[in-house]
Amino acid sequence: MKVIQRLLDDKLAVFCLLVISIVMIAGVLSPVLAPHNPLELNVFNKYAGISKDYPLGTDQLGRCILSRLLYGIRTTIFLALLTMFVTILIGTILGIIAGFFRGKVDEIIMRMCDVMLSFPAEVMILAIVGILGPNLMNVVIANIVAKWAWYTRMIRSVVIQYMDKNYIQFAKVSGCSTSHIMRRHILPGVSGEVAILATLDTGWVILNISALSFLGLGVQAPTPEWGMMLNEAKNVMVTHPTHMLAPGIAILIVVGAFNFLGDSIHSAINPKLYQKKNNRSRMNVFTRNKKFISK
Amino acid sequence: MGIYLIKRVLAIIPIILCLSFLAFVLINLRTSDPAEIALRVNQMTPTEDMVNAMRSTLGLDQPYFVRYFSWISKSIQGDFGESYVTHRPVAEHIATALPSTLQLAAVALLIIIVCSVVVGVLCALYEGSVGDKLMRAFVFLSAAMPSFWIGILLIWLFSVKLGWFDTSGMERVSSVILPAVTLSLGFVSTYIRLIRNNMIKNKNENFVLYARVRGLKESRITLKIFINSMQISMTALGMSIPKLIAGTVVVENIFAWPGIGRLCVSAIFNSDFPIIQAYILIMGVMFVICNLVVDMINMMVDPRLRKEM
């Protein structure tokens, strides 16, 4: 695989991949790694400084900050990955259907996307969380609803480019079944593009989830989550400003790693595919520019 | 052009209808009864009779589509119903909150334009210099920093430590500065990158070579490159305005800025549906109209787009 080779040659990409893997492993192993129970209260030991027992100190309720940070990986990153997975699943299925069959099906799916995209994602997320009620699952649902249309449209435009390729024409002529062509010929081609889109957006989803938790609309107390921890740190800002650092830096590192990785994958896979103008994308100029920016 | 404009304006109608329908349907997806919520938010224990009475005052006993059409026809006239909590008209709440949000967004927009143009052009002129590299590091960093973190860090530094600004609220003129800076940071980094990359790309175009051959002054050439590089940024900026207003939600909550985003979040906590619905509708309309205006301006500026129609 040329793409993977090119990616491995990119030192920054390898480093980001390493960071992300370490964080994820730390998340999986958090019960082993965490020195304390993240929910364990200890009012006699609140605002403890850095010590051997509490490497990052304790918060306003005497909970171990490091343990909360480690358990927070589970909530923040795994929720983000779940969101991305479902979004991409929906986007890929609808995108392939629209791009493959064209005609009426395409028209209906694309008009639906137009409606969804005629609305800023941030407001859409707030609207859904607002009306369904603030909780974890609704945040995930809101992110999926806000993003699927964008993926559907991107994947559709990729599929349309593939449809003109000779090997697909040949497969069609030689009588391969529709599902066979989709599975064997289109899906592998599309998956590269999907990978870029997914990595570029994971950072965005993490920021969204933690922003909603920060506002108190996402994860509910006492579940450890980075945005939530920042919200708690905000309240004790005057007396204990250092509490703001750990969760913020954690978000910064993870989101930064995902963004850099996305950029690297982007340049590893031929960027020229992206430049082809899609007539429909005129409506949504911002997403077109997003591609432009990340080039 | 005229026909295209009419087509685009007509295309707005189904989009807004879909949007309003979505805002309406979502409420009914919620498991709890709005009438019960309307009672509960006022600390009343709902009895059967009270819920029924509330239902008829809110019009919830009517069929679904009747309710939808009465809501949408009233909304078009600016009547979004009454807040469940304060029992004041929603329009009144929005009218008091919207100006502060727009004020915040306007200041942020100003910061975005000034900073990104100045820094973007300088980075393009001194491509590859230390400053340029530092700026690129900053751009990547600020793309990964959550705005709420930046916000509280700024509060800590400038309000708590240095005492230059208020921590929150909107008492003085200077209190707009911190929220506006927080709001604009994410956008500034995007535009610096956009302007810088476009200018570097345009540096090697034929018109620059021709201008050099003609012996024009370097400052004049730079100006021309800049003007030619602005178009994509203009489009993106137009699209950013509604995003900017939507982005105020987080910032307003950090800085206790009495705007529409804060109104919406407190409405979410109170399950105050009329306000949430009004917020969705207003934001949607604003976004769609901004889209249209930006496309129109681009058509006027760029003759190539006119041919595409």
What is the three-state SS of B90-126? HHHHHHHHHHHHHHHHHHHHHHHHHHHHHHHHHHHHC
Q: Are residues B142 and B232 in the same domain?
A: yes
Q: Do A292 and B232 touch (CB under 8 A)?
A: yes
Listed residues B240, B258, B276: the one ending a domain: B258
pLDDT at A86: 92
Give the residue from B152, B189, B251, B290 with the most A CB atoms within 10 Å of its CB, the best one to mutate: B152
Q: Are residues B203 and B125 in the same domain?
A: yes
In a domain, A295, yes or no: no
* pLDDT tens readout for residues A36-64: 777 777 766 666 667 766 777 777 777 77
In a domain, B248, yes or no: yes
Q: Are residues B140 and B106 in the same domain?
A: yes
pLDDT at B303: 67
Instruction: Name which residue leads in pLDDT, A274 or A17.
Output: A17
State the smallest CA–CA distance between residue A167 and chain B in angstroms. 31
State the smallest CA–CA distance between residue A178 and chain B in angstroms. 33
DSSP character at residue A237: T
Q: Are residues B108 and B172 in the same domain?
A: yes
In a domain, A293, yes or no: no
Helix, strand, or coil here: A96? helix
Give the residue from A148, A215, A235 with the most B CB atoms within 10 Å of its CB, the best one to mutate: A215
Q: Do B15 and A282 touch (CB under 8 A)?
A: no
State yes or no: pLDDT of B56 exceeds 80: no
State yes or no: pLDDT of B299 exceeds 60: yes
Q: Do B14 and A115 touch (CB under 8 A)?
A: yes
Q: Are residues B57 and B108 in the same domain?
A: no
Q: Are residues B30 and B148 in the same domain?
A: no
Q: Are residues B179 and B236 in the same domain?
A: yes
In a domain, B53, yes or no: yes
CATH code assigned at A268:
1.10.3720.10
State yes or no: pLDDT of A115 exceeds 70: yes
Local confidence band at A1 (pLDDT 50, 70, 90 cut-offs) = low
Q: Are residues B187 and B68 in the same domain?
A: no
pLDDT at B173: 72
Question: In the predicted model, what is the mean pLDDT of residues A237-254?
Answer: 83
Q: Please list every residue in chain A whose beta carbon sits closer than 8 Å to the beta carbon of residue B264.
A: 126, 130
Nearest neighbour of A118 by CB, restricted to B27, B267, B288: B288
The first and second tokens of residue A116, run together, are: 């969804």
Q: Are residues B57 and B159 in the same domain?
A: no
In a domain, B296, yes or no: no
What ipTM was assigned to the predicted interfaces of this complex?
A: 0.78
In a domain, A128, yes or no: yes
In a domain, A53, yes or no: yes
Local confidence band at A241 (pLDDT 50, 70, 90 cut-offs) = confident
Domain span at residue A215 reads: 2-288
Domains in chain B: how many in total?
Answer: 2
The first and second tokens of residue A234, run together, are: 């905000």
DSSP character at residue B164: -
**Whole-number Cα distances in Å, A185 to A91, A99, A105, A169, B121:** 18, 13, 21, 11, 45
Helix %, strand %, coil % for chain A, to 5?
Answer: 75, 0, 25
| Residue closest to B196 by CA, chosen among B111, B117, B113 | B117
Which stretches of A118-186 are DSSP H helices?
121-132, 136-163, 166-173, 178-180
Residue A186 CB: number of other CB atoms within 10 A? 23
In a domain, B190, yes or no: yes
State yes or no: pLDDT of B304 exceeds 60: yes
In a domain, B85, yes or no: no
CATH code assigned at B122:
1.10.3720.10
In a domain, A294, yes or no: no
In a domain, B282, yes or no: no
Question: In the predicted model, what is the mean pLDDT of residues B27-52?
Answer: 70
Domains in chain A: how many in total?
Answer: 1
State yes or no: pLDDT of A282 exceeds 50: no
In a domain, A26, yes or no: yes
Question: In the predicted model, what is the mean pLDDT of residues A189-210?
Answer: 81
Listed residues B61, B76, B91: the one ending a domain: B76
Q: Do A241 and B288 touch (CB under 8 A)?
A: no
Local confidence band at B31 (pLDDT 50, 70, 90 cut-offs) = low
pLDDT at A279: 35
In a domain, A203, yes or no: yes
In a domain, B216, yes or no: yes
Lowest-confidence segment of A90-104, B34-48, B202-216 by average pLDDT: B34-48
Domain span at residue B144 reads: 99-258
pLDDT at B1: 66
State yes or no: pLDDT of A257 exceeds 50: yes
Q: Do A207 and B146 touch (CB under 8 A)?
A: yes
In a domain, B141, yes or no: yes
Chain B residue with Cα closest to A138: B30
pLDDT at A275: 39
Q: Are residues B127 and B57 in the same domain?
A: no
Q: Are residues B66 and B196 in the same domain?
A: no
pLDDT at B152: 86
Q: Are residues B153 and B36 in the same domain?
A: no
* pLDDT tens readout for residues B84-132: 777 788 888 888 888 888 888 889 989 998 998 888 888 888 877 888 8
